[in-house]
A and B are shown apart, each in its own frame.
Chain A
């Protein structure tokens, strides 16, 4: 009998044997004709795929609350289905589009890694924001994450953005011990006392392990969020346009013309949050706005990449909050239905740059490309004290 843990996939990962819905009524009951590369490689490595976990509609929300098929509440807070299944003993694999996996795992006492962009094939994941989304792993321990990452990180000819085998292999090892970690001044804006305390705890543990922690002045966390929202929603608008009611998925029964078929199918099957994202993205890509919205966001992305490069000349990693608070309630959403486009301030820097990021205990660590192993090594310092 296999001693390996079982795998649970979030509903952005396509499977032949189970429906893949992306949390949307649009894909209710949708059966893919092929498995995602992550599924194929995990199966070949002897892992049992236990099943699927629900996710927010196209995985852009906070922690899964926008799922058409419902989201559980515990003590008045939303709970993430993938994290619940990891707590029950599995290892989770999902698509991190807008940080929901990082937020949920950091809030649930679990750990997740969003590996360096291009090392884990995105073949067979429902495309939303292709330039930044990454197949990610949620586990109970850093070792869980490392183990599954070593399977899903490999070159794949079916993904044009997949990096070479040499580069993919780099994420599987810890090349060096972290000695200096930076906290970026702008990253603490808006976080509550509980999260601030999480940062302090983590900082203290790092220092006890001989890691120097410094606060550094940086605007990265101010600019990454608006730029990422533009890029993510624009790409989303384009990618979900294929869900038009013509070929598969939901089709309205209320139409006489092709335009009504499109409009009514999408109106009836898409949720409010997704519609906001589509409209915002569509506006950013319009001829009138392209230069000052989409193109500018691309330029901001380059500036942020360069800003991180400069920080990593002096530091091994960046420590920052994973979220502004440790749980979200239905009340939060009622007050601000676009909260996920604000909370992603903490996750957008790693999404927009494709840098690896590990989330746990209310915080996230961001490192240079291919420093995935080192980030998990830092996480183990925390685990030794707190587990």
Chain B
């Protein structure tokens, strides 16, 4: 018999806010244990939650990017369960009126475009972290991550293979990063997902027994877990190797197996109820319009525009639209210099390689695109040599306030138009190396590059290469 897999995802994404959802603690990743904590996010009595407006902004942004209906009145609710990383023993989340509902995402599949429906997006606080390896027989709790804002994106069970799941997750990743909702870093846990999976005979309308694999944090592990679970379900159905039960499972990537965590019978009752300390949030037209107006162009729309309107190659357009920061930099640079291809060249060959050498992601780019445009103008009109232009760019990375022209002037990077200076340098270099000059005169043309390089160095790069080449040839042949 042929089977089909039915998969729905719950994707958790940490929002790119400076502070936590209900207190002013930093939401930054990577601090020492319990450095970003206060009485509120440690669950001490007497602190009342005050909602960080930025969280709602980003929740709405995510909803709009994923074609959702935005609930104009959205509320927070409490979800109760005991776990040491949850200091209040309840999580503040959205149960009754989430910020966004009924959306969809389009993905590419071998059989064409497919719509994956989004059931809802809700805002909530993250939990802390348990640390087991400080001392034997003890567990420590780190509350830095407690109350860091999250959204959970719940899809309908519209996915039917590991490939589709990956395509869906990559699409979410791209849209959310483009809209600056989250940096979506799997390795830091700012993007993670739960996979709900069941298997049924092809054509059947009845869903099979569903299992949920919790807390997946890499695409390869997700793909492996889906293949494993699918095989396990089919094996159970066909060969009766085990009785499938509705349960939550944990994926062990090292062992390549999933293990039962708890069954439905032993699952707790979360006792959801509206949080009386948080008044319903009313999203009026002005707020809605403000967020709507701030949405970025979708990456594929940009790509198309870069190719058809600005004349970039497909490769260049793909490279730049892989990151919102690169797009912003490119568009700012283009707005100043109007040279799309040069902007693309500079970003792809220079900016991206500097980022790589600094081990920075493209999204960490803070370069002022308008200043880059000005630099490109200087190089293109011959005011600054290309090699010196790269030095200016490197300096601009370290100091965003640098004005390229001023910096070039201060550092002697301005190309000289003084032909007598060029001629005197050519004479000095050639006279110091009569052998090479003789070789060239004897027909060894390639040797001219050595002299050319020495002259350029002597001129500190500030010479139009054509001018230098002509002066050299004139001297040698004259």
Point out residues on A near B: beta carbons under 8 Å. Answer: 14, 20, 22, 27, 32-34, 36, 122-127, 130-131, 157-161, 234-235, 237-238, 241-242, 244, 246-248, 258, 262, 282, 285-287, 290, 294, 298
The complex places the Cα of A199 from the Cα of B51 at a distance, in Å, of 45
- 8 A Cβ contacts from B60-78 to A: 78
Is B269 interfacial (CB 8 A cutoff)? yes
Contacts of B271 in A (CB 8 A): 237-238, 282, 285-287, 290
- 8 A Cβ contacts from B15-58 to A: 39, 42-51
In the assembled complex, how far is the CB of residue B462 from the closest CB belonging to chain A, in whole angstroms?
59
Contacts of A124 in B (CB 8 A): 46
Q: Is the contact region of chain A dominated by helix, strand, or loop, or is it mixed?
A: loop
Q: Which of B191-199, B274-282, B286-294, B424-432 contacts A (4 or more CB under 8 A)?
A: B274-282
Nearest 5 pairs between A and B by C-beta?
A131-B276, A241-B89, A285-B271, A124-B46, A14-B46
User: For residue A283, which residue of chain B has the nearest CB?
Assistant: B271
- 8 A Cβ contacts from B240-275 to A: 269, 271-274
In the assembled complex, how far is the CB of residue B19 from the closest CB belonging to chain A, in whole angstroms?
14
User: For residue B79, which residue of chain A has the nearest CB?
Assistant: A238
User: For residue B23, which residue of chain A has the nearest CB?
Assistant: A158
In the assembled complex, how far is the CB of residue A29 from the closest CB belonging to chain B, in whole angstroms?
14
The complex places the Cα of A131 from the Cα of B273 at a distance, in Å, of 12
Is B379 interfacial (CB 8 A cutoff)? no
Is B208 interfacial (CB 8 A cutoff)? no
Known A160-B279, A238-B78: A246·B84 in contact at CB below 8 Å = yes
Give me 18 other A-B pairs in contact (C-beta within 8 A), A123-B48, A238-B80, A241-B82 excluded.
A14-B45, A32-B44, A32-B45, A34-B47, A125-B46, A127-B277, A130-B48, A130-B276, A157-B50, A158-B48, A159-B48, A160-B48, A160-B51, A241-B88, A241-B90, A246-B141, A247-B44, A247-B141
Out of A127, A159, A160, name the residue touching B45 (CB < 8 Å).
A127
The complex places the Cα of A198 from the Cα of B279 at a distance, in Å, of 39
Judging by beta carbons under 8 Å apart, are B279 and A161 in contact?
yes
Which of B84, B90, B269, B276 has the most C-beta atoms of chain A within 10 angstroms of its own C-beta? B276
Is B87 interfacial (CB 8 A cutoff)? yes
In the assembled complex, how far is the CB of residue A126 from the closest CB belonging to chain B, in whole angstroms?
5
The complex places the Cα of A157 from the Cα of B52 at a distance, in Å, of 12
Judging by beta carbons under 8 Å apart, are B89 and A242 in contact?
yes
Contacts of B45 in A (CB 8 A): 14, 20, 22, 27, 32, 126-127, 242
Out of A160, A234, A258, name the residue touching B50 (CB < 8 Å).
A160
User: For residue B89, which residue of chain A has the nearest CB?
Assistant: A241
Contacts of B273 in A (CB 8 A): 234-235, 238, 285, 290, 294
Contacts of B48 in A (CB 8 A): 122-123, 127, 130, 158-161
Contacts of A262 in B (CB 8 A): 82
Known A244-B89, A286-B271: A160·B46 in contact at CB below 8 Å = no
Point out residues on B near A: beta carbons under 8 Å. Answer: 39, 42-51, 78, 80, 82, 84, 87-90, 141, 269, 271-274, 276-279
Contacts of A246 in B (CB 8 A): 84, 87, 141
Out of B50, B87, B274, B277, name the residue touching A242 (CB < 8 Å).
B87
The complex places the Cα of A124 from the Cα of B40 at a distance, in Å, of 11
Judging by beta carbons under 8 Å apart, are A127 and B89 in contact?
no
Judging by beta carbons under 8 Å apart, are A286 and B269 in contact?
yes
The complex places the Cα of A33 from the Cα of B84 at a distance, in Å, of 21
The complex places the Cα of A248 from the Cα of B84 at a distance, in Å, of 12
Contacts of A287 in B (CB 8 A): 269, 271
The complex places the Cα of A176 from the Cα of B21 at a distance, in Å, of 43
Out of A127, A237, A241, name the residue touching B46 (CB < 8 Å).
A127
In the assembled complex, how far is the CB of residue B131 from the closest CB belonging to chain A, in whole angstroms?
14
The complex places the Cα of A234 from the Cα of B78 at a distance, in Å, of 11
Contacts of B274 in A (CB 8 A): 298
The complex places the Cα of A246 from the Cα of B278 at a distance, in Å, of 26
The complex places the Cα of A282 from the Cα of B268 at a distance, in Å, of 12
In the assembled complex, how far is the CB of residue B451 from the closest CB belonging to chain A, in whole angstroms?
73
The complex places the Cα of A287 from the Cα of B279 at a distance, in Å, of 23
Known A238-B80, A286-B271, A294-B273: A34·B46 in contact at CB below 8 Å = yes
Contacts of B50 in A (CB 8 A): 157-160
Judging by beta carbons under 8 Å apart, are B277 and A130 in contact?
yes
Contacts of B89 in A (CB 8 A): 241-242, 244
